[in-house]
């Protein structure tokens, strides 16, 4: 269990709604669908209603600073089944990259690989008290697109299994543009109410357990609870 999973959830019942993709940049096909993940309930481009409203606000703030720039959404709503698929897919990718034989992995090797996988991926839990953040519809992975339509270089790829994924990895390297670019993304998202994952420069949430936990770290005198738990099928609006 990660620290943020101890935060209480008081579900508000707000539905998932489709993201108006004409207002944002997106990857097409969706990166996880490209590797075989399926979304039977709703497309990944859904968020809770208030989270979507905040995302629209964040893009407006970005465009006030940099006309023509847009947020590029990499991933949003992720059912637990997709979380499981991507965890298993990432495990297999690490096995291949490290040139292991899947049939002869020792317990120690298997455990070491899972530790790497879970540095980025949340456990695909069906426990209503410990939902994966994206399965709440309150988390979004994204980056920036500049006025020429080019992806802004953040110094590492989304979902990269390396220390470069840490939000402040480049903080002490001012000669490189990556930290400044990451801070711009953080600033426009924070101004709209989101909080950034400490270990993933691309991951932002609003209203879930991680968001509440991060807020409590910033303000120890507060006791913030989460308002979004795992999305029920009936809560998905098309």
* Active site residue ranges: 200
Q: Give how far the C-alpha of residue 187 lies from the chain's centroid of Cα atoms, to the nearest Å.
A: 16
Instruction: Map residue 92 onto helix, strand or coil.
Output: helix
71: left (phi over 0), alpha (psi -120 to 50) or beta: beta
Q: Burial of 112 by CB count in 10 Å (0-12 exposed, 13-18 middle, 19+ buried)?
A: middle
Between CA 75 and CA 36 the distance in angstroms is 15
Between CA 180 and CA 124 the distance in angstroms is 33
| Closest CA relative to residue 139, chosen from 32, 63, 220, 226 | 226
Task: Find out whether the peptide bond into 29 is cis, omega within 30 degrees of 0.
Answer: yes
Between CA 116 and CA 5 the distance in angstroms is 19
């Amino acid at each position: 269990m990660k620290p943020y999973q101890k935060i209480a959830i008081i579900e508000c019942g707000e539905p998932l709604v489709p993201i108006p993709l004409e207002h944002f940049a997106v990857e097409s096909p969706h990166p996880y669908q490209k590797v075989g993940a399926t979304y039977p309930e709703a497309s990944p481009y859904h968020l809770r209603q208030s989270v979507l409203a905040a995302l629209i606000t964040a893009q407006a703030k970005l465009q006030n600073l940099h006309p023509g720039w847009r947020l590029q959404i990499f991933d949003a709503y992720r059912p637990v089944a997709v979380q499981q698929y991507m965890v298993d897919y990432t495990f297999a990718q690490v096995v291949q990259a490290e040139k292991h034989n899947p049939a002869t992995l020792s317990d120690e090797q298997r455990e070491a690989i899972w530790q790497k996988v879970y540095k980025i991926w949340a456990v695909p839990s069906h426990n209503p008290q410990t939902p994966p953040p994206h399965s709440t519809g309150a988390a979004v992975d994204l980056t920036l697109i500049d006025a020429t339509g080019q992806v802004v270089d953040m110094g590492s790829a989304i979902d990269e299994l390396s220390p470069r994924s840490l939000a402040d990895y480049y903080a002490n390297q001012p000669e490189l543009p990556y930290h400044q670019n990451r801070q711009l993304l953080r600033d426009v998202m924070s101004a709209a109410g989101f909080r950034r994952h400490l270990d993933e420069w691309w991951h932002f949430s609003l209203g879930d357990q991680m968001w509440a936990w991060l807020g409590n770290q910033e303000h120890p005198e507060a006791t913030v609870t989460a308002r979004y738990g795992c999305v029920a099928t009936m809560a998905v609006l098309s």
